[in-house]
Structures are given as structure tokens and as C-alpha cells.
Structure 1
Amino acid sequence: MARRAVMSLLPQWSSRVFSVEQDGTSPCYFAVGRGAPPRESAPPRLFASVPPGCGRCYSLLVCAADRIRGARYHAELRDKLTGALPPECRVSPMSSFLTNASDSLVKGYFLNDHTESPVASERLLRDLTRRDPVLVCSYSRRADGQVWTQHLWSNSEGEAMETPQEEYYVADCDGPGQHPSTLGIINSDVFYSFEEACEVMRQCGDIIPEAKSVMELLPSRVEARSRPDFPVIVIEGLDATGKTTLTESLKDTLGATLLRSPPQCLSPLRSLFDREPPLIRRAFYALGNYITMEKVHQEAMKTPVIIDRFWHSTAAYAIATAVSGPVSNLPAQGSEVYRWPSDLFQPSLVVVLTLDPEERKRRLRGRGLEKTEEEQELDHNQLFRLKVEEAYRRISGPACATVDASPSADQVLRQVQLLIRGKCHL
């Protein structure tokens, strides 16, 4: 199956674009072609740091036919590479894709080997091609010193992918109109239907026993329902912005039911699924929203409902994690990645609490709670925080109302109450 997945890439190989992310900046892009490179083609910037006569480069693309196993293998591959390769080998995330083709994204890693001899690296890579779902390419400099070439390695059955006479030249190319990761966000990083997320969890059953426990908690099906009698208000925001204090106060002042997403029934499983790759982790959190939605429909026929986080958080964190580099790399306002799932109940009002980052850090230190990997990222990576906040703002259906959470808890409560009266007439 891995061999078929590898072979499926080859017919359009010269049409594919390759991207490599180094130092958290925007990706470097290159393309490949047969024969002599065009006179106007620029030498690839990606290879500029490789000293003449020393060092080689390699790429590995994960080509598993089973996307669940492929996602787990991709997550494990970096540890395998960094643990086995010499310290002089630099490992960077990379991908390959067809421009504007949403199902074409293939992820992997790029190796820049600055050792005097590539023997150790090539031994490991040849071992990978024999038993793992990975396509390996090597890159070398031609005698003129300006042109780099790409060679596809043998597959797991030992048959040559390409003969040496059919080597590819490598050249810089312009990037696509959008960051390449956006080609793989829909129903991989962000889920837009119950069935799509449910199918991922169902496929995990054979390799993650706890996935069956999640399936047992799900509604048998999700269907459109009439709007409840009482409003549903979602409070969003990063950790330590005051969501818990606000939601508890709103529960008391409105006589509302307070719910949380992910729901309490998933809490024992969160730490396990937080260690899984994005595809599986995001499906888990998406399904938490649908479990919460079932409870919303029951409670909102009797009282107003307050939800501590909902789909906005699930989507904003996923988008900010998937898209590397600056905020400008995020999909543009109006992109389909910001659309609300058609089968998920839309709340009456969504409020996002914002807070100065230094004040938020101070509050976090005072709490002393164990933080998720994403919360740790928020702590030391201002860029990631900015992307999360911008993704919040761009999600539509419904859009968010932003409230400054730096004043006292009573002042924040009064400001949110005014929004609720204006929007929900409570």
C-alpha cells in the first residue's frame, strides 16, 4: 500500500511545488524539472548554506495510504531522525503539493547534512525506504557548482523510481497565493462536520483503544433542530483571561446552565489525545463540540446556556498551529477555513476575552496548573498568540464580540451583560 501511495505522486512530479520551513519564517519554495534548467532560472536559495565540496541534502515525504497511520508515522519520524542522525544534520519541516489542489499536500522533512561524509545519513535513509511509508530524495550539486539536482531513491521493494539519466534539476519558484498548509486544513486540522470527525475516530479504533470510548459517548447522529427557546452564549479567550470567573458569574446572574467544551466526560482522555498528531487530536476536540451541542439542545429549552469555549477555540488553535510563519500567512478573511460547520448549532452570541500578554502570563504563574503544549507555546511565542487571536476574529457564523478583560471582574461582567441585553434581549 505504501508503494502505491508513493507511485501515485510520480505522474505529476514535475508539476509539484516543494516547500521547506526554516527558523519559523515563511517557507522556501522550489520546483523540479527534467533536462537542462532554463537560462533564467535562479539557483535555489534553500541550498545556499551548503558549503562547496561538503554536505548533502535529502527530503523525506510520508506517503502512507492509511492517513491515520501516516499521521502517527509523520509525528514519530522527526524524533527518529534527530535521534539517529549526526548532530551536524539539520531537520526542517517540508511539504509537497500541487498549487491550489486541496487534496495534494504531502508532509515530510528536509535534511541538510553538513558532515564531511553522508554515510551515516544515507544508511538510515536507505533503511527507511525498505520498511517505512516514505519517499526519499537526495540533492547534489552539479560540476558547475550552480545547478542542484534531485534523485528519487528506490522504493521499499528495491525497484528504481527513476534512472540516473532522468534526474531532475532544482530551481527556486514563487510560492502559492496561500500558505501550503491551508491546502490540508479542511477535515484534517479543522473539522466541518460530525461525520468527518467521527470517521477519523472510528479508524483509530484498531490502534488507539481509547478511541472506542470516545465513540460510545457520541450521539448516534447529528441532525438539524429548531432554535431553542433561550439564548446560547459562548465565552472564548486564551487561558487566564478570566473565562471561568465570567462564566460562573453569568450563570448566577442569568439563572443559566453552564456547560464546557470539551465536556467533562472527555476529561480523562484529554491528556492521551493531546499527545496524538493533529489529525487525531483535532478530531477528538471537534467531537467534544458535538457532545456539548447535544446537552445545549436539552438545556436551552429551559434556561439560557453559557458555554465555556466552543468551536471558535477548536478552529483558532488548529489554524494557528497548522500555519507557520507570520500572521500574514493565515488564510485571508472570508476563506472557507473560517466557516462554521453546517451541522453544528450556532450560538446567539460569542464573546472573546482579550488581555495584555504580560498580564496573562502573570495570572498563569499564579495558577500553577499544568499547561498543554499549545498553552506553553502561547507563553513563549508571541507570534503564535497573535495568530490565534486573529483566527478568532476571522471566524464567521457567528462573528465574535471582543471584550477587554483587564478591568476588574465586575466591570467585565457588566460589559458582557450589556452585550447580552443588546443581542439576546435578556
Structure 2
Amino acid sequence: MAFDSLLSALLLLRRLSRQLRHRRRACTRTMVPDRCFALELPDCTLAHFTLCPDAPGNSQGACQHPRLGTILGSPGRSYSLCVPVGPEAGYGTRVRAAKLHQRLLHQLRRDPFRQCQLQRLLSYCPGDQPESAQHGFLLRDPRDCLETRRALTELLGACKETPPLHLGEFETDPHGQLWQRMWALQDGQWLEVGCALVMSTQEPSLHPVLPDLPSSAIFPSREAARAVLEACTSFIPEAQVMLDLVDQCPKQLQKGKFPVIAIEGLDATGKTTVTQSVSDSLKAVLLKSPPSCVAQWRKIFDDEPTIIRRAFYSLGNYIVASEIAKESTQSPVIVDRYWHSTATYALATEISGGLQHLPPAHHHIYQWPKDLLKPDLVLLLTVSPEERVQRIAGRGMKKTREEAELEANNVFRQKVEMSYQRMENPSCHVVDASPSREKVLQTVLSLIRNNCN
């Protein structure tokens, strides 16, 4: 009898233990959301939220961002859509997703959406998981017009990508709680496939897109950038030519005995004048990145999504590195822009929100790629924003896409400048390019003498 009682007690204890573990797992699944969202607000802050599936009691005491109800709820109507990439997506999948995102962006800026407000929306998995970011949009229709919804469903219905796109629609219930209804196209009909409560979630310590950047914008190696352009050869003929040129460059490069100086800076900070003057003074070879052999294709790649555009500029750096290795055996080398430009513009473009959302100083994203030949010195030319605008106006030249963004978006310019200043190994020596040409040249030559043999 005693043995039977003991056995029964052990079985009961084991059953209770299993139930407790099950409850803990269920609690963990409830507390840790599967997917979160970062919405870029007009003041360049980010509102982070998640979706809690419709269940009894979920709406009791729900915590919502104080501005989410105003931005997403009535009056008016808001819609969300994110372009799925899929777990462990290859570069081909990433390129297709980026092309789709760009196509949707162009469509959402046209009629009948011109009266709507368009904001960046990022979907991500919590916990700094790489390859989890999905880029999308929040479309706010202040008129709550049926035409807007009809046009959205037609636009998404025309996309034949797999997995298919879902459309989120936000609404506020009588208790003031914000909900999202999810719609999907099934057998030619839009059907509701989910309903969830919109709840605030904790802002991650680092921007959620950061783990994704080494495979989408700031490539840590030549092979990573090369894989992107390989996925583009079917619709960009120049991509294959670019790859052929890269493959002709040795992978193991060694700099010659003469110094290599890279000169960086925003447009109209005097790079062209300074690089030419320094080259003449030192009897140095002047190179540019991207190099002349591929520079004629800049317009083609500048019109492509970030992942393709940055792959082009990254591989341009490896081509110019081959030229640097050769020329530095004979004379000093001056390089007009190099890897730092490629990385800083990518960071400013891909990191949504304001200056505070950039990666902190000394983050590994600011480190020079291990397989790219380093310069001996990097100089960053700076002038005040007002003087730079005056210089651009005096040129009378057509603005590049990035230059137009720098002029129209003060926050974007600040993010580029801050990213330059946080670059390491090698870091940038800041040079005030506001004084006369002669004084700036003297400053630059003095820095070169003090830092290069």
C-alpha cells in the first residue's frame, strides 16, 4: 500500500510539473511577441508596437502608444502592408523583395493616393535576429475614402509574388482600443484572415534593421556584394559587365610604399578642388570611386533599390582598390571618396527615424571591411549647411538623388555626417573646408605630412 501511494504521488507530481512547464511556455509565448513593428512618425521618432490576437480579456488594460490611436485610428483610416522576405532568404529573394517595395512606393505616390500620408513601416522579429526585417508602408487616408481601399486592393491583387501580400486595416472600437484587421486575397476574393489588438512594445536597444544591414546595404565583403549583382544580371545587363571587371581584380592586394589618402565629404564641400590641388602638390595619382570604367553606369544603379545600388558602389570600391595597389608602388595616391561614403549613405537611408537611432559609436557596422585595401589617411571635408547650399546653387548642375535628399531632409544630412564621424579603422580626420582654397590645402598637406611617411 505504501508503495502504491508513493507511486501515485510521484505520478501526480510529474503531471503537475508538466502542466506548470506548459503554462510557462504559454506565458512566454504571450509575453514575447512573434513580430513587432516600427512606425516612423513625422517628428522622426519611432513608435514600436505589436499585435495581440483577438481573445477574451486581451483588451483589458492594454497598453498603447499615446500617439498610435491618433495616427492609426479614426477619423480617417490607415492601412499597412509589408513586403515579406522569408526566413534565411537568399540574395535573389532579397533583390525581388526590394524591387517590389520600390514598385509599390512609386505607385503609392501617384493618384489616387496623392491625398494620403505615406510613412515608413518596418516589421521585425524581436531579439536582434538577422534577416528578419520586412520593409513596408503605413498609408493614412484622412478622408476614409472607399476609392483608396479599392485602389489598394487592386494594387496588391496585381502583385503575383509568393508569399502573397496582406493588407492591414486599422480601426478603433467603442472602448477606444485600436485593432488591426488583416486581409488576404484568396481565390480572387479579399477575405479577413485575422484580427488583433495593437499594443505598444518595448523599443529595442538597437534599431531593428541593424542586424539585416550586412546582407542588404553595408556589405562586409566583396563576395556579399557580388552575390547581389549576380541576382540582377537578368534585368540589368551592366551588372554582368561589372562582375566581369571585379573578377579580373586580385582578391589579395597589397599597398605599395607610397601613401594613400582618401578624401570624403558631402557634395559641394570642395572635394574636387581639394583632391586635384593635393594631387598636384604631391605629384600623386588621382582616383575616384566608383572608378571611371564603371562610372557611366551610376545613373542606372542609382535608380535601383538600396541593396542593388549599394552593391554597385561596394564593388566599385574593390575595383578602385586594385588600381590603388598598382599606383601606390609608383607614387602617392589620392582617392575621391571610398568605402566610408558607401557605408554612411547606406546607414542614413536604411536607419529610419532620427539621429538618435543610428548605431552607437564603436559598433562593428562602422568597421572597414577586412578584405578591402585600406588607405593610410581619410580626410572628411565639412562646411556649414548654408554655405553648401549656396555652392550647389552656384554650380547650376542637376542634383543627384542623394543630393536632393540631403537638401530636402535635414535629418538625413545629419545622419550622414554623424556616420562619417563614427567610422573607425580608419577613422576620418575632419577638415573645415570653409576658408580659402589655399588655407584648406595647407591644412590638408599638414595632416598628410603628420600622419603619412
State the alpha-carbon separation in 2 of the partners of residues 275 and 46 from structure 1: 33
TM-score after normalising by structure 2: 0.84
How much has 1:119 moved relative to structure 2? Answer: 5.5
Partner of 2:10: none
* Pairing 1:23-422 to 2, within 5 Å after superposition: 23=42, 25-34=44-53, 35=55, 36-37=57-58, 39-44=60-65, 45-49=67-71, 52=74, 54-64=75-85, 66-99=93-126, 100-118=128-146, 120-122=148-150, 124-125=152-153, 128-129=156-157, 131-133=159-161, 134-142=165-173, 144-155=174-185, 163=193, 167-220=195-248, 222-422=250-450
Letter aligned with residue 176 of structure 2: Q
How much has 1:40 moved relative to structure 2? Answer: 3.6
How much has 1:32 moved relative to structure 2? Answer: 1.0
- Judged with a 3 Å threshold, the aligned counterparts in structure 2 of structure 1 residues 298 and 219 are, in CA distance, closer, same or farther, namely farther
- Judged with a 3 Å threshold, the aligned counterparts in structure 2 of structure 1 residues 87 and 233 are, in CA distance, closer, same or farther, namely closer
Letter aligned with residue 139 of structure 1: F
State the alpha-carbon separation in 1 of the partners of residues 113 and 421 from structure 2: 44
How much has 1:257 moved relative to structure 2? Answer: 0.9
SS in structure 2 at match of 1:48: helix
Letter aligned with residue 20 of structure 1: L
TM-score after normalising by structure 1: 0.89
State the alpha-carbon separation in 2 of the partners of residues 391 and 229 from structure 1: 30
State the alpha-carbon separation in 1 of the partners of residues 363 and 307 from structure 2: 20
How much has 1:118 moved relative to structure 2? Answer: 3.3
Contact 1:130 / 1:156 at 8 angstroms: preserved in 2? no
Partner of 2:90: none
Contact 2:120 / 2:138 at 8 angstroms: preserved in 1? yes
SS in structure 1 at match of 2:44: coil
SS in structure 2 at match of 1:154: strand
Instruction: Structure 1: give runs of 5+ residues left out of the alignment.
Output: 1-11
Partner of 1:5: none
How much has 1:159 moved relative to structure 2? Answer: 9.2
- Judged with a 3 Å threshold, the aligned counterparts in structure 2 of structure 1 residues 208 and 157 are, in CA distance, closer, same or farther, namely farther
Moved more, 339-348 or 367-376: 367-376
Moved more, 320-329 or 301-310: 320-329
Q: CA deviation digits over 1:296-315, x for unaligned, max 9?
A: 11111111111111011111
Moved more, 354-363 or 394-403: 354-363
SS in structure 1 at match of 2:247: coil
How much has 1:41 moved relative to structure 2? Answer: 2.4
Moved more, 342-351 or 16-25: 16-25
Contact 1:58 / 1:137 at 8 angstroms: preserved in 2? yes
Letter aligned with residue 57 of structure 1: S
Q: CA deviation digits over 1:210-230, x for unaligned, max 9?
A: 212222322345523334211
Contact 1:186 / 1:192 at 8 angstroms: preserved in 2? yes
SS in structure 1 at match of 2:215: coil
State the alpha-carbon separation in 2 of the partners of residues 191 and 183 from structure 1: 12
- Judged with a 3 Å threshold, the aligned counterparts in structure 2 of structure 1 residues 104 and 369 are, in CA distance, closer, same or farther, namely same
Contact 1:24 / 1:324 at 8 angstroms: preserved in 2? no
Moved more, 223-232 or 83-92: 83-92
Determine which structure has more spread, i.e. the larger CA radius of gyration: 2
State the alpha-carbon separation in 2 of the partners of residues 14 and 175 from structure 1: 13
Letter aligned with residue 170 of structure 1: V
SS in structure 2 at match of 1:388: helix
Alignment RMSD:
2.4
State the alpha-carbon separation in 2 of the partners of residues 25 and 330 from structure 1: 12
SS in structure 2 at match of 1:387: helix
Contact 1:21 / 1:93 at 8 angstroms: preserved in 2? yes
How much has 1:326 moved relative to structure 2? Answer: 2.2
Moved more, 269-278 or 247-256: 247-256
The percentage of counterpart residues that share the same residue type is 38
